[in-house]
Chains A and B, each alone.
Chain A
Amino acid sequence: MKFDVIVIGGGHAGCEAALAAARLGAQTLLLTLTNDHIAQMSCNPAIGGVGKGQLVREIDALGGEMAQNADATTIQFRMLNDSRGAAALSPRAQCDRDLYQKRMKLVLERQPNLMIQQAEATGLVTDQDRVTAVTTAFGDRWECRTAVICTGTFLAGKLHYGMQSFPGGRAGDAAANAFARTIREDLKLETARLKTGTPVRVLGKTIDFDSLDFQAPDTTGKVFSFRPLPPDLPLFGSLRLDQRPCYLTYSTEETARVARDNLDQAPMYAGRIHATGARYCPSFEDKVVRFPDRLRHHIYLEPEGVITDEYYLNGISTSLPPAIQWKLIRTLPGLAAAHISRYAYAIEYDFVFPHQIDASLAVRRWPNLFLAGQINGTSGYEEAAAQGLIAGVNAARQVAGLTPPVTIGRDQAYVGVMIDDLVTKDIVEPYRLFTSRAEYRLSLRQDNADRRLTRLGHAIGLVPSSEVSRLDQLERDIDNAIRQLQSIRLEGRSAWALLHHPDFVYERHANLPTFPPRVMEQVVIAARYGGYIEHQERQAQAMRSLDACKIPPDFDFKLPGLSVEAIAKLSKRQPATLGQASRIDGVTPAELALLQVRLKAAQGNRRHSSDELPPIFPDPLS
């Protein structure tokens, strides 16, 4: 059997890749180790968060599934940073872990053009620079025209519980060792190890909730998706699950002491793990070592769902041995009698250095092979899903002979910021999206993701025209509202001008017109941010002009005047624009200037040969 696109791995990246490819008409096969673990939330039972929430809404605007899947299974929605400005707001939802998986599985199963099979991919068949088939542990050989690899933490995955370690892709799942070898040896891709970890789960009935503070669910009825949920999925179409609170506790001096006393049994400190973990997501023992003076760290107890009583302890991920984990957890207020239902562990796994892919997520030396998710060195469900979407789209486009591939700019979306970072920056720890990574933060907001990306999603073919019509109407309403406010005089100025001031409270002026909430929201942000966005734009001008300067694909970076380091990095990454080159770590401004000069000179080549007399001015012989 032959498929247009074979997606290897059924996690958050794999689901989006498979759905996008199938929705664009490609005959798609999703291979996964266990069908029941499709779209598994391996770590915290939440979608979104700072930077990530923006990403989820971008995925939605581009026609991806994650936002709707989260909305259908949300048990608590919160807008993070809700006391801050619009560009800081980040939606996050606690979701029911089981239902999230089950709904996504159902969406995949019902998707036309998409087949699912529970099988371990063990190898890739190649012909020259193309991948032509995927082989499985059952001995099947599925021919393919393109492939998308979304293997998450499974490539040569190894779990650490204290000084014990086991091969595995996740607690309860086997590792993909044969495929890891294929990536390294058959595809000859440069790989290294990264590390991540997950905390304990405890049983609710053993927690003293009465002694804990709690965070109530948001009652505003906000959701991720800009679109209504499709009504035709049984159960999930209009499902509103019971909303659940999160609880808050904190580590004590005693917790820190337990961690400190047992550092010799922490694999990271005992030298058993050589992979790099993320600085922004430290294990509890890391926190104790790095911030010895801080004894109190927040720990959130997050419900894992409505048909489970397990709680996820956010903020105390650890790879200390199970025996120590009991001591550690029971020092926490409210958890003195807590029962651990799943131990915390660290996992290390192979990733592929993303300098080997381009902005379409295709591998440069294997142009019909795409990589998405943790295999590219990222961390997080949302980062993975966004890459999966782009990889699936580009795989399907390649099959259909559509050019160019879809690439997204840093000025368009967080998706673009992330992929550009992946192809230009050195990965030294699992990559996570932050709002501070975006030069255009004020414009890349969660509230306007549809205004930024719906048209692109439609042009790609994943978003129906009804969404574009909705957006057109919204844009007209916003324009009209602004025009109306400009014409209304109040205290000697236009209502529009007054709206620029942070202290102006619109609702206090009874004679001002009322607009639908979405329109009003966009108008207020436009007024408040307008001047700042212009300022941000001026700063970005230089970057924009560098991004516009293309570098030919065959350009030879071995230029006199460039350092060996810069030549190596530029040759390795083959940046497509001067802008990309400028963001490569280790390329200095002076080297960039040189590169620019050479690019210009490449058009009209003019150099002295050593046989001519060198120019000296003024020329003494003339």
Chain B
Amino acid sequence: MSDHDTICALATAVGGAVAVIRLSGPEAVQVAERVWQGERRLAEAPARQLLLGRLLGSEGEGIDPQCLAVRMPGPNSYTGEDVVELQCHGGALVARLALQALLRQGARHAEPGEFTRRAFLHGKIDLTQAEAVADLIGANSQAAVKLADRQLRGLLGQRISAVDEQLTAILAEIESHLDFPEEDLDWQAPSELASTLVELGRELELLLATRADGEVLRGGISLVIAGPPNVGKSSLLNAILHRDRAIVSEIPGTTRDTIEEMAHIRGIPIRLMDTAGIREGGDVIEQAGISRAREHLQAADLVLWVMDASMPYPGQAWPEWPIRGKVIPVANKRDKMTGAAMAGLPASAPAPVYVCALDGGGLEDLYTAVEQQVWSNPWAAENEVAVAARHAASLEIAVSDLASAAPLAASEEWELAAVHLRSAIHECGQITGRTADPDLLGMIFARFCIGK
């Protein structure tokens, strides 16, 4: 079957020790054999077995005496087509010369995402799985990797498709009421249809509720450490990072500018920011740092408001300006605490987490508190799937459509119920790619790098 032309691309980053060149298409094996020579012909060698051979350049000259080749015949390959991978020495030039030779021999250079697009085209994966490929490559935390893995296994797509199929069956029934009014067909009771629609809407709502978690996993959160001067904010930053990133001293106002670092807390990707201690007075530079701290504070997803447990609470500030994100009060220096030092916190404030930044005491409690604030529910990190913004936009429409369709079905206003049902089905199709419009697909595959 010669479905497509044969494409090739470098699948690994330039400059590594080994370079992998991938070919896919009906002539993948023939084209590869023109630039790779082994003891056995690739076409005759067993599938999915690495063979040693040598790599030839455009003029047939040897360019790498040690090159591994593997043949993965379609349809059981990544793209669903015949695929060949060549593994040669890395560095700057070998792979590039090999690619040039492959192009001369009849392959075409792949466009970004084309291998994955072909997999989608051949029905190997749905759109959510294609997106998961990009997510996996871009994942910056263990939790994000796990999420992408589950999505790549098709768990999200399957749940949407299951709803899609049921909605389509209901639509067919509704349409038959309109198109065959004189046939005595076996129709379900309208109230049954309506309650099925409500159930399906609930299933989509469950998926929609994972949006916040999906955003956290895909984009991470911004966490700002703030509070009065000299309470140990920078010590806390160093403790979370396990290294001395910020200068720490006994002198209030040591941190004057914002320090930003990437970190993980229990698998959550976090943009961690240490800010200048907030107080009145100080010099011009310190005040500039403080105003910057306030800006970060307002924009943060989560704020660790640090206080000094060794001092009595009255007299310590509590953030009063509007803060977008959630706030966890942290009482540092718990080792020096006397009595119930933090008694008298505003009634609205949650109970503080007691830590000692210097010896790491209480940090696990703090991480648990962070987790509780980040995930929408306690088991979110173990969620089967979490939807991305694109999915959520479609789910929102579909959920509202089903909410409208159910009562219309119950009152047998079929032609109106059908409008909403068609819309909901369309949105499900947008998520899995069954009905996705071309602009959307173009945008999705544009996220990919060449070679994927």
Query: Which of chain A's residues have a CB closer than 8 A to the CB of B292?
Result: none
Q: Are A539 and B108 in contact, CB atoms less than 8 angstroms apart?
A: no
Question: A441-B418, A589-B434 in contact; A85/B413 too (CB < 8 A)?
Answer: yes
**Residues of chain A with a CB closer than 8 A to B104's CB:** 610-611
A43 to B190, CA, bound (A): 34
Interface-located stretch among B93-101, B196-204, B236-244: B93-101
CB-CB under 8 A from A591, the residues of chain B are 121
A81 CB to nearest B CB, Å: 5
- Contact partner, A539, options B178, B181, B422, B450, Cβ 8 Å: B422
From 11 to 53 in chain B, residues with beta carbon under 8 angstroms from any chain A beta carbon are 14-15
CB–CB B415/A84 < 8 A = yes
Nearest chain B CB to A97 CB, angstrom units = 20
Q: Is the CB of A50 within 8 A of B96?
A: no
Q: Mark B253-290, 1 if CB is under 8 A from A, else 0.
A: 00000000000000000000000000000000000000
B102 nearest CB across to chain A (Å): 9
The residue that A593 contacts in the complex, of B1, B184, B426, B442, with Cβ under 8 A, is: B442
CB of B320 within 8 Å of the partner chain:
no
Question: What residue in chain A is nearest B8 (Cβ atoms)?
Answer: A614
B438 to A592, Cβ gap below 8 A?
yes
**Contact status B419-A535, CB under 8 Å:** yes
- B419 engages A536 (CB within 8 Å): yes
- Set A434, A536, A589: member contacting B179, Cβ < 8 A: A434
**Whole-angstrom CA separation of A491 from B269 in the bound complex:** 56
Q: Is B348 an interface residue (CB 8 A)?
A: no
By a CB distance below 8 angstroms, the chain A residues around B120 are 590
Distance in angstroms from A376 CB to nearest chain B CB is 21
A-B contact pairs, 10 of them (CB 8 A): A51-B179, A85-B415, A85-B416, A88-B415, A296-B184, A441-B419, A539-B426, A591-B121, A592-B438, A593-B439
- Chain A contributes a number of interface residues (CB within 8 A of B) equal to 57
B109 interface residue per 8 A CB criterion: yes
Asked, given contacts A590-B121, A620-B15, whether A434 binds B175 with beta carbons under 8 Å apart, the answer is: yes
Nearest chain B CB to A242's CB is how many angstroms away? 23
Closest-CB distance, B23 to chain A (whole angstroms): 13
- Contacting pair B184 A297 (CB below 8 A): yes
- A window 542-582: CB within 8 A of B: 542, 546, 560-564, 578, 582
What 0/1 pattern do residues 482 to 514 of A give for CB contact below 8 A with B?
000000000000000000001000000000000
The reply to whether B178 and A88 form a contact with Cβ atoms under 8 Å apart is yes
Out of B1, B4, B414, name the residue touching A562 (CB < 8 Å). Answer: B4
Tell me how far the C-beta of B15 lies from the nearest C-beta in chain A, rounded to whole angstroms.
7
Chain A residues near B96 (CB-CB < 8 A): 613-614, 616, 620
Cβ contact within 8 Å between B416 and A50: no
Whether B250 is near chain A, meaning CB under 8 Å from some CB there, is: no
Out of A50, A546, A561, A616, name the residue touching B437 (CB < 8 Å).
A546
Cβ-neighbour of B182 out of A80, A294, A441, A589 (below 8 A):
A80
Evaluate contact between A589 and B419: CB separation under 8 angstroms: no
B-contacting residues, A582-618, CB 8 Å: 582, 588-597, 608, 610-611, 613-618
B376: which A residues are within 8 A, CB to CB?
none
Interface of A toward B, CB cutoff 8 Å: 50-51, 80-81, 84-85, 87-88, 280, 294, 296-298, 300, 434-436, 439, 441-442, 502, 529, 532, 535-536, 538-539, 542, 546, 560-564, 578, 582, 588-597, 608, 610-611, 613-618, 620-621
Q: Does B59 contact A (CB under 8 A)?
A: no
**Which chain A residue has the least Cβ–Cβ distance from B444?**
A593
**Within the assembled complex, what's the spacing in Å between the Cα atoms of A311 and B244?**
98
Q: How far does the Cβ of B8 sit from chain A's closest Cβ, in whole Å? A: 9
A560 close to B438 (CB less than 8 A) = no
- Chain A residue with Cβ nearest B433: A589
Q: Shortest beta-carbon distance, A512 to chain B, in Å?
A: 24
A597 to B5, alpha carbons, bound, how many Å? Answer: 17
Chain B residues near A442 (CB-CB < 8 A): 415-416, 419
CB nearest to A439 among chain B residues:
B422
- Complex: chain B residue closest to A529, CB-CB: B416
**Known contacts A588-B121, A614-B103: does B181 contact A81 (CB below 8 Å)?**
yes
**How far is A615 from B3 in the complex, measured between Cα atoms in Å?**
25
Residues of B within 8 A of A595 (CB): 438
A617: which B residues are within 8 A, CB to CB?
450
B435 within 8 A of A: yes
- CB pair A610–B438 under 8 Å, yes or no, is no
Knowing A590-B433, A614-B96 are in contact, say whether A535-B184 is a contact too (CB < 8 A).
Answer: no
CB contact list, B78-124 vs A, under 8 A? 92-93, 95-96, 99-100, 103-104, 108-109, 114, 117-118, 120-121
The answer, among A81, A502, A610, A618, for a CB contact under 8 Å with B14, is: A618
Complex-state Cα separation, A52 to B330, whole angstroms = 73
Is there contact, CB below 8 Å, between A614 and B419?
Answer: no
B2 proximity list for chain A (CB < 8 A): 564
C-alpha spacing A80/B182, complex, angstroms: 8
Contact with A along B177-188 (1 / 0, CB 8 A): 011111110100
- B175–A608 contact, CB under 8 A? no
Given contacts A561-B114, A590-B117, contact A80 B419 (CB under 8 A): no
Q: Is the CB of B416 within 8 A of A578?
A: no
The 3 closest A-B pairs by CB, nearest first: A593-B441, A620-B92, A593-B438
Contact A50 B181, CB 8 Å, known A84-B414, A546-B438: yes
